[in-house]
Amino acid sequence: MIRIGRKLILALLLAFNVMAAEEAETGTPGAQLTLDDLRTFTDVFNQVRKNFIEETDDQTLLNAAIRGMLSELDPHSSYMEADEFRQMDDSSRGRYSGIGVEVAIRNNKVFVDFVMKGGAADKAGIVSGDVITAINNRDLRGQDLPSAIDGLRGEPGSEVDITIEHQNGEVSTLTVVRDFVEVSSVYSRPVDRDYGYFQITHFTRKSADELLEQVDYMQRKHEGPLKGVVLDLRNNPGGVLSPAIAIADAFLKGGFIVYTRGRTENQLEYTAKPGQVLEGVPMVVLVDRSTASASEVLAGALQDHGRALIVGETTFGKGSVQSVLNLRNGSGMRLTTARYYTPSGRSIQAEGIRPDVEIATVEVVENGDKRKREADLDRHLISETGKSNVNFGSEVSAADDYMMYQALILLKGASILSAENY
């Protein structure tokens, strides 16, 4: 015990002496820890190691100490062990290692809802509708969905035994080799023929390329220019910042996109280059209270430049910058190093982006009004042919998606005014 404590003290003393020397060279002020401070740390370490109710190895305790140090700083600084760090890197690349299925829990069973064509599960013969009853002989009955998903994921090339109950009642155990599964972050579709809908679920390194490819495809397939575009950032927690910057750059002609301010002098400023995608096409950006981080940066830039109308709820307000740092043992850390500011100088942190048109998330009940109109009456006179008003009807139901329904109304109003039909 004493030997371990002395090693820790010597290691920590060396580390803090190095830091003190660096602070002296740079002029950075810092409170120096004393030998007694370091001894307190090793006392706690040894007491936990010796007396905690369950035996715990030294590496686990050291990792817990590092996690505790970072978690006390703010909600977003964190320590990632090597496996966590690799998973985070894979997620930023828009991929994960698994078997290529989407699962859902119904009636306390884990159903396979979707099988990716050509993926590991597809090659093993798993089909939609199968029920996964066990993973590596661990019964899944009563397990929650995250536990089931965690069991399916693992290192690419690793094997996992999956017990399947097929739709015909047969049960078999299949050995599946995990592989990388590519995950799209952008989904799009034409709406009401002349309007484009683009949803970004989260930001990966590929998000900007995905969005611009889908915008280009929709424009080429549409007869004439689109009359309006909805960019849906609801429930987007953020992710990699660079694609959000690239998307803002694509929609803006120039000017600031975002800048950061922190303790160090090396702060970042991002500026849009000349040239614009969908120039002159009205745009609505949908946001809600779960719109966070990089998605707030994008919404704030488009709002400040007047390029898009922001519609929905005030966003989450995560306006802090996390630097991702590689550590020598393959682990990594997120450290909050700065704050984001919109082009007009607004801080996003704890404030969020306030929408131009505030629309709460509501549940709409279809109108059950049975009252009749003239056209419902027997033997009503037929209307003479004449100029009719623009139809604001939509294939999007207000009951299904009220914010989207209102966004289309706003875009159609903008289209009418720009065409001088008033």
DSSP assignment of 88-137 equals HHHHHTTEEEE-SEEEEEETTEEEEEEE-TTSHHHHHT--TT-EEEEETT
CATH number of 167's domain:
2.30.42.10
CA distances from 310 to 126, 222, 228, 360 (A): 43, 25, 14, 13
CB 270 within 8 Å of CB 246:
no
Task: Kindly state whether residues 87 and 210 are assigned to the same domain.
Answer: yes
Alpha carbon 112 to its chain's center: 24
Average pLDDT, the chain: 86
Question: Are 418 and 397 within one domain?
Answer: yes
**CB contact at 8 A, 195 and 230:** yes
Catalytic residue chosen out of the listed positions 206, 227, 318, 412: 318
Is there a domain that residue 74 lies in? yes
What is the tens place of the pLDDT at every residue in 205-216? Answer: 999 999 999 999
- Tell whether 303 and 345 lie within a shared domain: yes
C-alpha to C-alpha distances, 152 to 134, 173, 204, 343, nearest whole angstrom: 10, 14, 22, 43
Residue 378 in domain: no
Active-site hit among 207, 227, 304, 320: 304
Are 81 and 129 within one domain? no
Look-up: residue for tokens 């209102």? 406
Percent of the chain scoring above 70 in pLDDT: 84
374 in any annotated domain: no
Total domain count, the chain? 3
Do both 103 and 128 map to the same domain? yes
- Which residues constitute the domain of residue 89? 59-94+184-363+392-422
Strands 357-358 and 309-312: parallel
Task: Give the C-alpha distances (Å, rounded to integers) separating 277 from 211, 250, 358.
Answer: 11, 5, 26
Residue-wise burial string across 7-28, b where 16 or more C-beta atoms lie within 10 A, e elsewhere: ebeeebeeebeeeeeeeeeeee
344 is catalytic: no
Q: Is residue 422 part of a domain?
A: yes
> Does residue 22 have a pLDDT over 60?
no
Residue 420 has pLDDT above 50, yes or no: no
- For the residues 121-144, what does the mean pLDDT come to? 88
Q: Please tell me the distance from the alpha carbon of residue 362 to that of residue 344, in angstroms, as a whole number.
A: 31
Report the alpha-carbon distance of residue 139 to residue 173 in Å, rounded.
Answer: 13
Q: Which residue has the higher pLDDT, 106 or 134?
A: 134
Q: From CA 118, how far away is CA 391, in angstroms rounded? A: 45
- Please tell me the predicted confidence (pLDDT) of residue 388: 44
Whether 318 is a known active-site residue: answer: yes
- Do both 142 and 197 map to the same domain? no
Q: What is the DSSP letter of 273?
A: P
pLDDT for the residue 11: 60
What is the CB neighbour count within 10 angstroms for residue 403? Answer: 25
Q: Is 347 a catalytic residue?
A: no
Specify the 3-state DSSP secondary structure of 12: helix
